[in-house]
Amino acid sequence: MMETRSPLRQCPSAPGHEDIEARRKSSPNITVVLDRLRSAHNTGNIFRLAEALGAKEVICCGYTPCPPHPKLAKTAMGADSMVPSRSFPTALDAIRTLREETPGIEILAVEPLPESVDAWAYPWRFPVALIFGNEALGISPEALEAADATVGLPMFGAKASINVGNCAAVVLYAAAAKYLADSRS
């Protein structure tokens, strides 16, 4: 059987085949804030996404599992040791600290609210922090109030709910797409 290659642009090679630090330096300046996530599996999944995008850090708030954590480590497959992380008692504490450390950072809550802008239609600017909340409770009211804006994903079904890891994947890659489009123009 003859091997064929897609005429489409190929994804960057796997880590180890090029300078990882150079790739990380050219990545969008994104911080991921996790507000009271219950599942170590979802948290580990988000660490993998953060590593894939070269995120600046993951901030675990409240009772969100934070490294080192055995269940998180299993799902993160090593990304939990590759992406810087820290924890705060509340997401509001994390937001206040981010604003002090990084003047001009945009803080976005990811929530399916009537005023939320679809993630792929949002006018992204960097640096940005994205807050993802508890699947049952959402983002804490205090953190939601402190955010600059809300982005979301359209929901057409009756349940109007998706897994937080799946949501994070779509929103993070929407931000990355905007960053890549801007950097190439």
Q: What secondary structure does DSSP assign to 134-151, as a single string?
A: BTTTBS-HHHHHHSSEEE
Q: Answer yes or no: is pLDDT of 17 > 50.
A: no
Residue showing tokens 């049952």: 136
Q: How many helices (H) and strands (E) does the chain have?
A: 6, 7
Q: What is the mean pLDDT of the chain?
A: 87
Which residues make beta-bridge pairs with 106?
A: 128
- Phi and psi at 14, nearest 5°, equal -65, 155
CATH number corresponding to 26-152+163-184 = 3.40.1280.10
Residue showing tokens 């820290």: 86
pLDDT score recorded for residue 80: 81
Q: Answer yes or no: is pLDDT of 108 > 70.
A: yes
Give the count of beta carbons closer than 10 Å to the beta carbon of residue 18: 11
Residue showing tokens 């979301």: 152
Q: Answer yes or no: is pLDDT of 71 > 70.
A: yes
Q: Rounded to an integer, what distance in angstroms lies between the CA atom of residue 39 and that of residue 23?
A: 30
Residue 10's pLDDT band (boundaries 50, 70, 90)?
Answer: very low
Q: What is the dihedral of CA 115, 145, 55, 177, to 10 degrees?
A: 10
Q: What is the dihedral of CA 156, 162, 166, 169, to 10 degrees?
A: 50
What is the residue extent of each domain of the chain?
Answer: 26-152+163-184
Q: What is the pTM of this model?
A: 0.87
Q: Answer yes or no: is pLDDT of 40 > 70.
A: yes
